[in-house]
Structure formats: C-alpha cells, structure tokens
C-alpha cells in the first residue's frame, strides 16, 4: 500500500476544504495512506520570496524537516506549496551553505533537514505513481462523454525542465481519460490564471481569468478541472468580477480533479465537498449534448 506524508497547506484548511476532503476520499478508495505533517507551517506562497529569500527557504525547510522524520515522500495538493517545497528541497541538496544557514535556524525548533525528502504534487501521485488501470479499477460511474478542460496552470510543471514537456504535457488528460471523461484540448491549459495578482494587480488578473474562461468555453468544455486551490478560486469566484469588468456572462463550473475522480468512484458528492461552489457543478456533468 502506498503511503505519503501529506502537506495540505493553508488554503485547504478553509477556502479549499473541498479539495482537502476529495483528496482524502479518493486516495482512501485507492488504498493510499496520507499522513498529515504534524504542526506544519505555511509554505509562504510567493510572497515570502518578495521579502527574504532565506526566510522563505527556512519556512519550507521546516516542513521538509518534519516530513523527513516520516521517511516518506511528501505530497502537496497546492501548486504553490509544491513549487516552493520542491525547489527548496532541490537547493538544499546542492547548496551546502544554504543548508547550513537553514539548519542553524531549524535548531530553534529542534529540527534538522538532511536533504532526504522527495517532493511531489498530488496530481503526480495520480499521474505517475498510479497506473491508469489502478484508477480505472475503482471507477463505478465513468464520466462518459463529459468534456473536461484540464487546467494545469503554472507551477505543477514550471519551472522544472526535463521532468515533463513543460509546454504540452499530457498526464492530466491521462487521468481524465482513466475516469471516462473526454479531455478537451484548449490552447490556454498551460497559461497562468493570475492568482497571485488578484490583490496587487486586479485588472491584469481578471483579464487573465477572462482569457482562460473564454478559451475553455470555445473548446466546448463543460467544466474546468484544476489541481490547485489558487486556480480554482481565481477561475470560479472571480467570474462575476470578470463579467462586471468585461460585460461577459460566464457562469462556468470549476472543479478539483479529485472531485471528478471522486464522482467517478461513486463517492457521494457531499463527501467531496461539492455544493460549496459558486457555480453549481453537478448539472454540467451530463454527457455533452444531453443537457
């Protein structure tokens, strides 16, 4: 049975609690054990790096150090957390000087990081650690004919090179196919949603949301699937804002990929946190045309 250390990250505590729930439900079904890190702290999102790089690395390192004690790979469902932890781990491996500083600070919490942790994004667990067959085997209600727009966003594959095709990856599609859905190919699946700008540069962010939604709509998708709380909120919650700003009339459902998987596994929507959305999702999940 697969087991991972689990770093939910701040958003999943409240805002994206449905992502949290659906993650636990689906992984449970697949016989994957997620061990939440004890007393984890915020990864710092992007903002720490604005202020003090070393501090930012230290915060991530604290979580890594805690994870290291479990001896497991650590999984983060949030792309921002994932990216921060991934690169902190990478740098701490190669840069002894940085590691020394960081460990000096960690002493205060009786922690030490020795560079032994593997950081994974939740979606990598589904895409790489599990075979499509393993996922298929649990599907009871395949999402036949449902056109889903897989939204990668930024930090799942960027800036790592070599690991995946950073411009046109296919693993998200793979997961959707495994649960019977029809992934649509739309040009902006790799584009940024502007999440981190929504406060500081609202117009820019809203424009980016607009472009993304349009691209998804143009591709006759019925729902967008995301693997990041930032993206979900940004794409969904701000639709009204976009409509106000640009006179559009978007009312487009945005779900976590784990919720879709959960539905395909026949897990009751409530358990997957479905129902808290701005745009009701269930109605849209009927095969295209049958609406």
Partner 1 sequence: MTDTLSFNQEISNLLYAAEGEPLQTCIQCGTCSGTCPVAPFMDYSPRQIIALINAGNKEAVLESNTFWYCASCYHCTVRCPQEINITELMYALKRYSIWKSQHQEGLIGPTFSEAFVKMIVRGGRSFEPILAPSYIFSFNLRELLTEVTGATELLLKGRLPILPARIKRLENFKRMIGRIIPMGGLE
Partner 2 sequence: MEKKEKIGVYVCHCGTNIAGVVNVGEVSTWAAENLKDQGVVIARDYKFMCSSLGQELIQKDIKELGLTRVVVAACSPHLHEATFRNACKGADLNPYLCELVSIREQSSWVHTDKVAATEKAKALISGGVSRVVHHEALEPLHVPIHPATLVVGGGIAGIQAAIEIADAGFQVYLVEREPSIGGHMAQFDKTFTTLDCSACILTPKMVQAGNHPNITLLTYSEVEKVDGYVGNFVVSIRKRARSVNEKDCTGCGICWEKCPKKVVDNVYEVGMGTRKAVYVPFPQAVPKYPVIDRENCTYYIKGTCKACEKFCPTNAINFAQEDEILNIEVGNVILATGYDAFDAHRITQYGYGRLANVFTSLEFERLSNAAGPTGGNIVMRDGKTTPKVVGIVHCVGSRDKNYNEYCSAICCMQSLKFAHLVHERTGAEVYNFYIDIRTPAKGYEEFYHRLLEEGTHFVRGKVAEISDAVRLPGEEGKLIIQVEDTLTGNQLRVPVDMAILSAGLEPRADAKEVAKKFGISCSADGWLIERHPKLDPVSTVTEGIYIAGCVQGPKDIPASVVQGAAAAARILGKIQQKEVLLEPVRASVNQDQCSGCRICNNVCPFNAILFHEDTMVSEVNPALCQGCGTCVAACPAGAISGTGFSNLQILSQIDGLLMLNIPRKEAVV
- Kindly identify the residues of this chain, within the stretch 201-230, that bind partner 1 according to CB under 8 A: 201-205, 207-208, 211, 230
13 binds partner 1, rule: CB under 8 A: yes
161 binds partner 2, rule: CB under 8 A: yes
The phi, psi pair for 266, rounded to 5°, reads 80, 20
175 contacts 139 by C-beta, under 8 angstroms? no
Binding at 252: pick from partner 1, partner 2, none (beta carbon under 5-8 Å per type):
none
Six-digit token string for 49: 């790096």
- Kindly identify the residues of this chain, within the stretch 112-151, that bind partner 1 according to CB under 8 A: none
198 binds partner 1, rule: CB under 8 A: yes
Member of 52, 100, 144, 218 binding partner 1 (CB under 8 A): 52
The phi, psi pair for 62, rounded to 5°, reads -60, -45
* Residue window 59-98: x/- pattern of binding to partner 2, with contact defined by CB under 8 A: ----------------------------------------
Q: Which whole-number Å values give the CA distances from 34 to 27, 39, 72, 75, 191, in the listed order?
A: 8, 15, 10, 8, 30
Binding-site size for partner 2 (CB under 8 A) equals: 11
Six-digit token string for 99: 């590691």
* Residue window 169-208: x/- pattern of binding to partner 2, with contact defined by CB under 8 A: -----------------xxx--------------------
Member of 47, 114, 140, 168 binding partner 2 (CB under 8 A): 168
Question: Toward partner 1, which CB reaches closer, 201 or 220?
Answer: 201
Q: Which residues are within 8 A (CB) of 43 and not within 5 positions of it... i.e. 6 or more apart?
A: 7, 9, 10, 59, 60, 63, 76, 78, 80, 81, 84, 85
39 binds partner 2, rule: CB under 8 A: no
53 binds partner 2, rule: CB under 8 A: no
3-state secondary structure (DSSP) of residue 32 = coil
- The DSSP secondary structure of 183-210, one letter per residue, reads E---GGGGS---GGGTTTTHHHHHHHHH
CB of residue 216 vs partner 2: minimum separation in angstroms? 11
DSSP symbol at 109 = G
Member of 1, 96, 108, 270 binding partner 1 (CB under 8 A): 108
Member of 215, 226, 258, 284 binding partner 2 (CB under 8 A): 215
């Amino acid at each position: 049975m697969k087991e991972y250390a689990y770093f939910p990250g701040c958003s999943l505590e409240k805002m994206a609690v449905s992502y949290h729930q659906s993650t636990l439900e689906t992984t449970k079904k697949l016989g994957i054990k997620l061990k939440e890190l004890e007393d984890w702290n915020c990864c710092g999102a992007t903002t720490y790096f604005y202020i003090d790089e070393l501090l930012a690395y230290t915060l991530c390192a604290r979580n890594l150090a805690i994870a290291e004690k479990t001896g497991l790979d650590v999984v983060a469902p949030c792309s921002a957390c994932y990216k921060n932890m991934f690169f902190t781990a990478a740098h701490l491996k190669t840069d002894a000087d940085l590691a020394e500083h960081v460990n000096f600070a960690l002493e205060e919490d009786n922690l030490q990081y020795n560079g032994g942790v593997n950081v994974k994004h939740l979606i990598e667990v589904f895409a790489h650690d599990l075979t499509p067959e393993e996922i298929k085997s649990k599907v009871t209600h395949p999402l036949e004919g449902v056109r889903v727009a897989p939204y990668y966003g930024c930090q799942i594959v960027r800036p790592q090179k070599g690991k995946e095709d950073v411009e046109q990856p296919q693993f998200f599609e793979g997961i959707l196919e495994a649960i019977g859905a029809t992934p649509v190919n739309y040009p902006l699946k790799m584009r940024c949603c502007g999440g981190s700008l929504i406060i500081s540069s609202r117009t820019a962010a809203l424009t980016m949301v607009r472009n993304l939604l349009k691209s998804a709509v143009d591709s006759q998708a019925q729902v967008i699937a995301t693997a990041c709380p930032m993206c979900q909120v940004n794409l969904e919650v701000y639709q009204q804002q976009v409509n106000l700003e640009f006179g559009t009339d978007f009312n487009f459902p945005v779900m976590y990929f784990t919720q879709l998987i959960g539905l395909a596994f026949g897990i009751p929507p409530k358990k997957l946190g479905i129902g808290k959305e701005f745009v009701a999702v269930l109605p849209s999940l009927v095969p295209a045309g049958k609406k």
